[in-house]
């Protein structure tokens, strides 16, 4: 018979169409996003991926709802209530690629991002790496204190709180027991106030049942604040209401007081010493920038940008969220480091890049202040809206409703709502399990 020639299947040279980390090269501009906090999440959700290829790098494979992290630390919620897997968030988004990695360097001349899994070219770079704790160069406090800037840190703090009471049961040394049962929170912003209220509720309703052999009444909660009022970024009315609520819960408030040192057992302050094994630092945050941006940082380590979010001299490099500081706002200090600012910046930058793809020009960011709020515990909260400030039970209901609605999906909302409802009816708080050995701070 006739011999038929079969042509070999054409194999594309994958080295030319796929980057070393497996991300395909396609005929769309590539937007590399670093960080999936509130700003990065909102930006990716709103960016039209028919016009752009989106590559997200993050060191975690989940997005964390940080405003409720204190409830994880105080056994009020389980971690799965406030996190959501990144891949599940964007599994229906075209031309989207996620890689779990650390970004090690950015070369703005060559337009490349280096990571622990290789480097990648970008057409646009969006830095949304958020904030980290600012210890104000107090090295001992950095070494010995506990913080709540990540889910891991919150779980460490939860374990330490519970371990302290187990250890207090096992010691006959009264001074050691007092140190174990004293908690010092530095910073009376929303995080500090909310954690203090949660600890006070543990003291009142939960711990006496869990530890009947301990005199829980000797547990002390101290909140130390350098300013002259609690919640200094909120209205004076909210500060007064919050202070009254904290004092009603037997929380010791120390205003105009500066922390100077901590050796793991004694806190040295401008108003005297406090003896504790648990110092919780919520007194400051700073930007968490990538390498190679030193010349673009302000005093708070935030990347300075123009109103569009661009870095000086780089039209294709943007910074949004807590890591960014628009130079014209508040004398170059930028907007407050709030989730609402980050979300609005992410949404606005996506709108700008969507406009750019259609040949339209970009516009400057304008923050719409929708208000701030803080809860101080059961039936107590304060809310500042642009036109009114109020507190009490109604403020607490508003705080709960808004936080539920801000959670990423229905499952998270349902879990948190059921937890809160159960806690409210039964005066019980979560599963108080010590599943992480607290960090050895002596190393």
The alpha-carbon radius of gyration of the chain (Å, integer) is 25
Those residues with Cβ within 8 angstroms of residue 104's Cβ, 6 or more apart along the chain or in another chain: 114, 115, 116, 291
pLDDT recorded at residue 411: 85
| Global pTM value | 0.91
Tokens of 66: 């940080």
pLDDT recorded at residue 156: 92
How far apart (Å, rounded) are the C-alpha atoms in residues 360 and 420? 47
Residue 56, strand partner residues: 33, 98
pLDDT recorded at residue 430: 62
For the chain, give percent helix, strand, coil, nearest 5.
Answer: 35, 25, 40
State the alpha helices, DSSP H only, in 145-189: 151-169, 174-181
Phi/psi for 59 (5° steps) reads -80, -10
Give just the sign of the alpha carbon dihedral 335, 337, 339, 345.
Answer: positive
pLDDT recorded at residue 429: 64
How far apart (Å, rounded) are the C-alpha atoms in residues 300 and 394? 36
Tokens of 117: 């899994």
CA dihedral 261, 263, 265, 266 (to 10 degrees): -30
Tokens of 167: 């250890």
pLDDT recorded at residue 328: 86
pLDDT tens series, the chain, 443 aa: 555 444 444 444 444 467 767 899 999 999 999 999 999 999 999 999 999 999 999 999 999 999 999 999 998 888 889 999 999 999 999 999 999 999 999 999 999 999 999 999 999 999 999 999 999 999 999 999 999 999 999 999 999 999 999 999 999 999 999 999 999 999 999 999 999 999 999 999 899 999 999 999 999 999 999 999 999 999 999 999 999 999 999 999 999 999 999 999 999 999 999 999 999 999 989 999 998 899 999 999 999 999 999 999 999 999 999 999 999 887 778 899 999 999 999 999 999 999 999 999 999 999 999 899 999 988 999 999 999 999 999 999 999 999 999 888 888 899 899 888 888 887 776 667 777 665 544 43
């Amino acid at each position: 018979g006739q011999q038929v020639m079969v042509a070999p299947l054409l194999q594309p040279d994958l080295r030319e169409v796929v980057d070393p980390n497996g991300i395909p090269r396609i005929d769309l501009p590539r937007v590399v996003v670093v960080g999936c906090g509130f700003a990065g999440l909102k930006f990716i959700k709103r960016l039209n991926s028919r016009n752009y290829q989106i590559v997200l790098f993050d060191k975690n494979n989940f997005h964390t709802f940080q405003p409720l992290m204190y409830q994880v630390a105080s056994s009020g919620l389980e971690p799965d209530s406030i996190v959501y897997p990144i891949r599940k968030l964007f599994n229906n988004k075209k031309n989207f690629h996620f890689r779990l990695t650390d970004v090690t360097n950015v070369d703005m001349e060559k337009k490349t991002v280096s990571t622990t899994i290789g480097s990648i070219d970008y057409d646009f770079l969006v830095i949304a790496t958020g904030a980290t704790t600012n210890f104000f160069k107090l090295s001992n406090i950095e070494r010995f204190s506990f913080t709540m800037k990540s889910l891991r840190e919150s779980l460490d703090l939860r374990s330490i709180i519970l371990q302290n009471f187990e250890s207090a049961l096992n010691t006959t040394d009264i001074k050691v027991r007092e140190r174990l049962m004293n908690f010092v929170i530095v910073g009376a912003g929303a995080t500090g106030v909310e954690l203090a209220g949660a600890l006070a509720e543990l003291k009142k309703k939960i711990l006496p049942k869990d530890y009947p052999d301990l005199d829980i009444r000797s547990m002390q909660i101290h909140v130390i604040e350098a300013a002259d009022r609690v919640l200094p970024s909120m209205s004076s009315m909210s500060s007064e209401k919050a202070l009254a609520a904290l004092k009603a819960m037997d929380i010791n408030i120390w205003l105009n007081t500066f922390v100077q040192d901590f050796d793991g057992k004694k806190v040295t302050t401008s108003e005297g010493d406090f003896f504790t094994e648990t110092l919780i630092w919520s007194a400051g945050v700073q930007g968490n920038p990538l390498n190679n941006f030193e010349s673009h940082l302000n005093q708070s380590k935030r990347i300075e940008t123009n109103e569009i979010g661009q870095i000086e001299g780089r039209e294709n490099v943007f910074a949004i969220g807590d890591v960014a500081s628009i130079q014209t706002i508040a004398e170059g200090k930028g907007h407050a480091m709030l989730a609402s600012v980050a979300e609005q910046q992410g949404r606005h930058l996506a709108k700008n890049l969507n406009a750019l793809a259609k040949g339209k020009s970009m516009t400057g960011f304008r923050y719409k202040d929708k208000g701030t709020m803080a809860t101080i515990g059961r039936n107590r909260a304060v809310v500042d809206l642009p036109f009114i400030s109020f507190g009490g039970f109604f403020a607490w209901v508003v705080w709960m409703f808004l936080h539920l609605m801000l959670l990423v999906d229905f499952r998270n909302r349902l879990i948190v709502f059921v937890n809160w409802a159960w806690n409210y009816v039964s005066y019980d708080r979560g599963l108080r399990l010590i599943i992480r050995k607290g960090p050895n701070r002596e190393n």
